[in-house]
A and B are shown apart, each in its own frame.
Chain A
Amino acid sequence: SQTIHQWPATLVQPVGSPLSLECTVEGTSNPNLYWYRQAAGRGLQLLFYSVGIGQISSEVPQNLSASRPQDRQFILSSKKLLLSDSGFYLCAWSKGTATGELFFGEGSRLTVL
């Protein structure tokens, strides 16, 4: 069966510090990978998605970047965090087939102080 792991679960960082959130998927190959952000009381916002190694699509301009160094690894990064980067970040995957069903990780709570 397929599993998705995301870490760290909780992170408190000062403004201006770097960020690295990691996500890995097991039990499948060539998945589509996604990073979402969830703000309190609002729907999920798609930040990045990737259909293959080194292929990254950005949905919104922001202080964040994403990379996919391996087939089942997706990394969300920032060089200098802003207060507005605080939120709940969710990694997700789907098969690169017709179903398009999304499966999510447990999320990472980022607080920027």
Chain B
Amino acid sequence: KQEVTQIPAALSVPEGENLVLNCSFTDSAIYNLQWFRQDPGKGLTSLLLIQSSQREQTSGRLNASLDKSSGRSTLYIAASQPGDSATYLCAVRPNTGGFKTIFGAGTRLFVKA
């Protein structure tokens, strides 16, 4: 059974700091991995999607990497800003099990001005 874990559960950093959010999954047989951002009381916004054949994806100040063999992904945020404060969720779509994407519980990020 695929399980997705995100550590730490919460993180507080000063503005301008580069930071890394971690995501681990137990089964390497995945179709893709997706990172989302969620603001309080809102829906999820897709940040980056990494297909199983890819090693990383970049969008602006965000870079996500994928290492299937070790069951790990990282989301790197460069030069953090207060507007980056949100919960970041990692989600894995397994090769089997139809369309059941498995989500981590998220990392709550607070960037201090």
A107 near B42 with CB under 8 A, answer: yes
In the complex, the answer to whether B106 meets A90 with C-beta atoms within 8 Å is no
Tell me if B105 is interfacial: C-beta within 8 Å of chain A. Answer: yes
Q: Which residues between 83 and 110 of chain A lie within 8 Å of chain B, taking CB atoms?
A: 88, 90, 92, 94, 99-107, 109
Which B residues are CB-close (under 8 A) to A27? Answer: none
Contact in complex: B32, A106 (CB < 8 Å): no
**How many residues of chain A are within 8 Å of chain B by beta carbon?**
26
Of residues 39 through 79 on chain B, the ones whose CB sits less than 8 Å from some CB of chain A are 41-46, 49, 51
Interchain nearest-CB distance for A44 vs B (Å): 4
How far apart are the CA atoms of A90 and B36 in the complex, in Å? 14
Find out whether the CB atom of B105 lies under 8 angstroms from the CB atom of A42: yes
> Contact check: which of A51, A59, A104 meets B44 at CB < 8 Å?
A104
B101 and A43 contacting across the interface, CB-CB below 8 Å? no
Q: Is the interface of A mostly helix, strand, loop or mixed?
A: strand
The distance from the CB of B90 to the nearest CB of chain A, in whole angstroms, is: 10
Report the separation of the CA atoms of residues A20 and B108 in the bound assembly, to the nearest whole angstrom.
31
Q: Which residues of A contact B41 (CB under 8 A)?
A: 88, 107, 109
Q: Which residues of A contact B34 (CB under 8 A)?
A: 101-102
Any chain B CB within 8 A of the CB of A74? no
A24 at the interface (CB under 8 A from B): no
Point out residues on A near B: beta carbons under 8 Å: 6, 32, 34, 41-44, 46, 49, 51, 57, 59, 88, 90, 92, 94, 99-107, 109
List 10 A-B pairs, minimum CB-CB distance, nearest first: A43-B103, A104-B44, A104-B43, A44-B103, A106-B43, A107-B43, A101-B49, A43-B105, A49-B99, A105-B43
